[in-house]
């Protein structure tokens, strides 16, 4: 039976997902499209964090800084210098990557809790700049009036659907980029560094360079998210580079699971949805979310995607035979 062939599951799921994503604006309401857009750009920030945590075992507290740096540059270059479309986002991402190149020189030397502290300090530095350098960043009130570009005659500012496809395109590109990095020899090398740095050095690998590259790639992913954040919300303020923004992404990655890209998106999706749903129901929604986290950490330490995978691996045989049985009864 076709339904029972495990090799078919991935391509089938991928095609269904592609069709769903491409037809989403016509299937659902504007509100749902808007939520999806939010989940995608915050998802990029979460993925950036998950990439470092999953592949290198390093938890960074400054990914939001790269997210924000890109957003700020889009805002400044567009509102202050009126540069035309492809320049602000490309420059924004470029500057964020450069910043990662600079901060990375310091950060990659540290591990574990020291990496955490160093990235905390560097992240706060960026936050302080955003908040204090008022002549450039307009301080705590932030920069407003950032407009999404017009693409091939379609305005992403006026139409949510156009914006959605614009972002879906970039988002898919980044997902492909990260997925390729993860399954390449480079990906193996990073996990090698995560599992045993001394062994990697003993095999002759440049451990520091590998870490450095991963740090820069992660910043690139966060920066792409930042660009879309600035375009979609039309505003950027110090909150987007803050520790709080970073911790939200961290919570999303714990929720979804750090080891898969899907987990990062799922975690962000759940968090952002709950944010909206629960805050409408009760004022104490933060408390509810806190309890939920406790439950996740205690009973599903690998996150929802990680646990789902474990359950799938354990019951794969049973589920597949169940599906096969279903097929047989459907077609007597």
Residue 188 makes contact with another protein by CB under 8 A? yes
Q: How far apart are CA 303 and CA 125, in angstroms?
A: 31
Question: CB under 8 A: which stretch of 203-211, 237-245, 284-292, 323-331 binds another protein?
Answer: 203-211
Query: Which stretch in 65-73, 137-145, 175-183, 219-227 sits in contact with another protein by CB under 8 A?
Result: 175-183
Q: Which stretch binds another protein (CB under 8 A): 17-25, 41-49, 128-136, 199-207?
A: 199-207
Could you tell me if 241 and 65 are in contact, meaning their C-beta atoms sit under 8 angstroms apart? Answer: yes
Question: Quick check: 316 binds another protein (CB under 8 A)?
Answer: no
| Minimum CB distance to another protein, residue 104 (Å) | 17
Distance CA(124)–CA(120), nearest Å, equals 6
Nearest in space to 267 (alpha carbons), one of 243, 293, 288: 293
Among 129, 187, 234, 319, interactor with another protein by CB under 8 A: 187
- Give the Cα separation of 316 and 70 in Å (integer): 43
How much of the chain is helix, strand and coil, in % rounded to 5? 80, 0, 15
274 Cβ partners below 8 Å, 6+ apart?
285, 289, 292
- Least Å from the CB of residue 167 to another protein: 23
Under the binding rule (CB under 8 A), the answer on residue 196 touching another protein is yes
Task: Note whether 195 binds another protein by CB under 8 A.
Answer: yes
- β-sheet bridge partners, residue 154: 151
| Per rule CB under 8 A, count of chain residues that contact another protein | 23
The site map against another protein for 246-265 (x = CB under 8 A) is --------------------
Please report how close the Cβ of residue 219 comes to another protein at its closest, in angstroms: 16
Under the criterion CB under 8 A, does residue 202 sit at the interface with another protein? yes
At closest approach, how far in Å is the CB of 183 from another protein? 5
Asked if 111 touches another protein (CB under 8 A), the answer is no
280-299: b or e for each residue (b if 16 or more CB lie within 10 Å)?
eeeeebeeebeebeeebeee
State the minimum distance, in angstroms, from the CB of residue 135 to another protein: 40
Interface segment toward another protein; rule CB under 8 A; list 13-21, 38-46, 188-196, 220-228: 188-196
Q: Among residues 204 and 332, whose Cβ is nearest to another protein?
A: 204
| Residue among 83, 84, 88 at smallest CA distance from 73 | 88
Residues 206-235, one symbol each (x = binds another protein by CB under 8 A, - = not), give x-----------------------------
Token digits of residue 303 = 């996150």
The span from the CA of 215 to the CA of 63, in Å, is 10
| Of residues 126 and 181, the one with the C-beta less far from another protein | 181
Q: Is 314 in the site for another protein (CB under 8 A)?
A: no
CA angle 253, 20, 93 (to 5 degrees): 50
Member of 44, 47, 181, 222 binding another protein (CB under 8 A) = 181
Cβ(163)–Cβ(35) below 8 Å: no
- Is residue 194 a contact residue for another protein (CB under 8 A)? yes
- Return the beta strands (E) in 57-194 as ranges: 143-144, 150-151, 154-155
Work out whether 180 is an interface residue with another protein (CB under 8 A).
Answer: yes
* Count of beta carbons in the 10 Å neighbourhood of residue 111: 14
Q: Which spans of this chain sit near another protein (rule: CB under 8 A)?
A: 180-181, 183-189, 191-192, 194-196, 198-206
């Amino acid at each position: 039976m076709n339904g029972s062939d495990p090799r078919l599951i991935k391509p089938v799921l991928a095609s269904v997902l592609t069709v769903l994503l491409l037809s989403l604006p016509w299937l659902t309401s504007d509100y749902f499209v808007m939520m999806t857009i939010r989940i995608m750009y915050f998802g990029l920030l979460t993925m950036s964090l998950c990439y470092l945590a999953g592949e290198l075992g390093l938890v960074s507290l400054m990914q939001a800084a790269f997210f924000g740096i890109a957003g700020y540059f889009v805002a400044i270059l567009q509102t202050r210098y009126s540069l035309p479309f492809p320049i602000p986002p490309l420059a924004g991402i470029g500057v964020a990557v450069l910043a990662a190149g600079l901060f990375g020189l310091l950060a990659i030397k540290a591990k574990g809790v020291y990496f955490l502290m160093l990235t905390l300090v560097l992240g706060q530095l960026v936050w302080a700049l955003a908040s204090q350098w008022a002549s450039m960043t307009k301080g705590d009130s932030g920069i407003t009036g950032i407009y999404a570009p017009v693409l091939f005659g379609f305005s992403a500012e006026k139409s949510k659907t156009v914006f959605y496809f614009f972002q879906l395109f970039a988002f898919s590109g980044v997902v492909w980029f990260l997925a390729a990095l993860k399954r390449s020899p480079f990906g193996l090398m990073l996990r090698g560094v995560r599992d045993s740095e001394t062994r990697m050095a003993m095999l002759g690998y440049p451990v520091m360079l590998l870490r450095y590259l991963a740090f820069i790639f992660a910043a690139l992913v966060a920066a792409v998210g930042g660009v879309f954040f600035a375009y979609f919300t039309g505003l950027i303020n110090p909150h987007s580079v803050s520790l709080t923004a970073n911790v939200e992404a961290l919570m999303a990655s714990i929720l979804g699971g750090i080891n898969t890209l899907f987990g990062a998106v799922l975690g962000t999706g759940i968090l952002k949805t709950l944010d909206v749903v629960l805050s409408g129901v009760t004022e104490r929604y933060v408390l509810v979310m806190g309890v939920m986290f406790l439950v996740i950490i205690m009973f599903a330490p690998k996150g929802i995607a990680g646990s789902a995978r474990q359950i799938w691996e354990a019951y794969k045989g049973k589920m597949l035979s169940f599906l096969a049985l279903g097929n047989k009864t459907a077609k007597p």
